[in-house]
Amino acid sequence: MSHYSAIEISNLDYKYPDGTQALHGVSLKVAENETVGLLGHNGAGKSTLILHLNGIIIGGDVRVFGTPVTKKSIRQVRQRVGLIFQNPDDQLFCPTVFDDIAFGARQLGLSEKEVIERVRHSVSEVGLDESILKKNVFHLSFGQKKLVSIATVTAMDARVLVFDEPTAGLDPRARKKIINLLRSLGRTQIIASHDLDMLSQLCDRVVLLSGGAVAAEGKTSDILNDIPLLEKSGVL
């Protein structure tokens, strides 16, 4: 355990090139091994915030285990923070499932034997059969792509897992599987979602974003049971 927070963001502003002010004055601390939900209306800034956590957007005071996220630190940051996009097509780009899961592990400079071991372990960890490894990514169902996306990140053994809408677009069975998977993965997790029931099952704490700013944060049950707050913040 380090004495640094896993994630520490101070007073973060972000404006997109077209002038949209997506974040203003966002501060957030996530302790190691904590699971934090990020809740907010469509356009509240959840995805924009998440893109700062592994340097897809660089700017402002964002620290990962004490290290500021900069161009220079980006490699190290990405080994520590794995981001699972809402849309698996943004995550997967190799011809086969094997190559996609192996890609990140290869970046770590592991031997091919170790890479193969990591791929096998990750694919079974997300509950998929090894036979999926030789399949073409284009031929997978949405739910399978979602699980493969998670495996690409767990194969890198990142200490922080960041999920953008992990249950969106899944049928009830697949959704339940993903919830159980996230629970079993442990580590430090940040989960952006509108799925209040999932957040209540998984999160120690919830941060509520509204209009690019933190509207409230607190114990999951306190935030989720505060109907007037959720209505005022545009979630309900």
Ligand X SMILES: Nc1ncnc2c1ncn2[C@@H]1O[C@H](COP(=O)(O)OP(=O)(O)OP(=O)(O)O)[C@@H](O)[C@H]1O
Interface residues with Mg ion (CB under 5 A)? 46-47
Looking at the Cβ atoms of 40 and 88, the one nearer to ligand X is 40
- Contact between 88 and 94 (Cβ < 8 Å): no
Burial classification of residue 228, based on how many CB atoms lie within 10 Å of its CB (0-12 exposed, 13-18 middle, 19 or more buried): exposed
Q: How big is the chain by its Cα radius of gyration, in Å?
A: 17
- Tell me which residues touch ligand X (CB under 6 A): 16, 18, 20, 22, 40, 42-48
Q: What H or E segment, with its residue span, contains residue 5?
A: none
- Tell me the C-alpha to C-alpha distance, in Å, between residue 39 and each of 16, 99, 141, 176: 21, 33, 27, 19
CB of 7 to ligand X, least distance (A): 17
Comparing CB distances to ligand X, the nearer of 122 and 210 is 210
Q: How many CA atoms lie within 13 A of 212 on its CB side?
A: 13
Q: Position of tokens 């030789």?
A: 134
Residue 43 binding result from Mg ion, ligand X, none, given CB thresholds of 5 to 8 Å by partner type: ligand X
CB of 46 to Mg ion, least distance (A): 5
Strand 35-40 with 188-192, pairing: parallel
The residue with its CB nearest to Mg ion is 47
Q: Which does 40 bind (CB under 5 to 8 A by kind): ligand X, Mg ion, none?
A: ligand X
Q: How far is the CB of 132 from Mg ion (least distance, A)?
A: 27
Residue 127 or 234 having the CB closest to ligand X = 234
**In this complex, which beta carbon is closest to Mg ion, that of residue 46 or of residue 175?**
46
Cβ at position 40, least distance to ligand X in Å: 5
Q: Which does 93 bind (CB under 5 to 8 A by kind): Mg ion, ligand X, none?
A: none
Shorter beta-carbon distance to Mg ion: residue 46 or 177: 46
- Give the helix, strand, coil percentages of the chain, each rounded to 5: 40, 25, 35
Q: How far is the CB of 45 from ligand X (least distance, A)?
A: 4
